[in-house]
A = this chain, B = another copy of it.
Amino acid sequence: MITNNKNRGSIERITCQKEIILDYLKSVKTHPSAELIFREVRKKLPRISQGTVYRILNNLKNKDKVKAISVGGITHFDGDVSSHAHFICQECHNIYDIFDICQECQIIKEQKLKVGKIKNYQIYFYGYCKKCRAKMPRLPKKDSNRK
């Protein structure tokens, strides 16, 4: 029999795994990795698997309910999809929000016209955060081979 489902294709089911992951991401102000999300969510859902976390995070990303931030080969997730930039500390690797960026900066507007269909953009600032700079006696050496 032909389904009368309005939205053709697959139907999306509401599961507690999905809700708890999204709730967690919206509750924190940090930018956790899939691995950390897995560890945290497992406190509420002890039987959840890593694969489920990765798959749900991918779904949420594809539905624009979360944003993915790739830092040093590791994907971090942001439950805040509002327009903002990020500051990445090169020492502790924490990711901080920068909200006071002009919402639609001139360069963004210009690029949207020039290159064509720009769906979105990301701005990353790199440096050493206040906490880390407080701990540093001097400027850190450059040639460490640490990733």
Residues of A within 8 A of B (CB): 9, 55, 58-59, 62-64, 70-73, 75, 85, 87, 90, 96, 98, 100-102, 105-107, 110-111, 114-130, 133, 142-145, 147
A-B residue pairs, 5 tightest by C-beta: A70-B70, A118-B127, A121-B125, A119-B127, A122-B124
Say how many copies of this protein the assembly contains.
2
Tell me the bound Cα distance from A115 to B119 in angstroms. Answer: 27
Please determine whether B119 and A126 come into contact, CB atoms closer than 8 angstroms. yes
Q: Note all chain B residues with C-beta closer than 8 A to A118.
A: 87, 125-127
Q: Which of B55, B98, B117, B143 is A133 in contact with, Cβ under 8 Å? A: B117
Q: Which of B73, B122, B144 is A62 in contact with, Cβ under 8 Å? A: B144
Q: Note all chain B residues with C-beta closer than 8 A to A111.
A: 85, 98, 101, 125
Please determine whether B90 and A119 come into contact, CB atoms closer than 8 angstroms. yes
A sample of 5 cross-chain residue pairs with beta-carbon separation below 8 angstroms, ordered by A number, consists of A62-B143, A73-B73, A98-B111, A118-B127, A121-B123
In the complex, how many angstroms separate the beta carbon of A77 from the nearest chain B beta carbon?
13
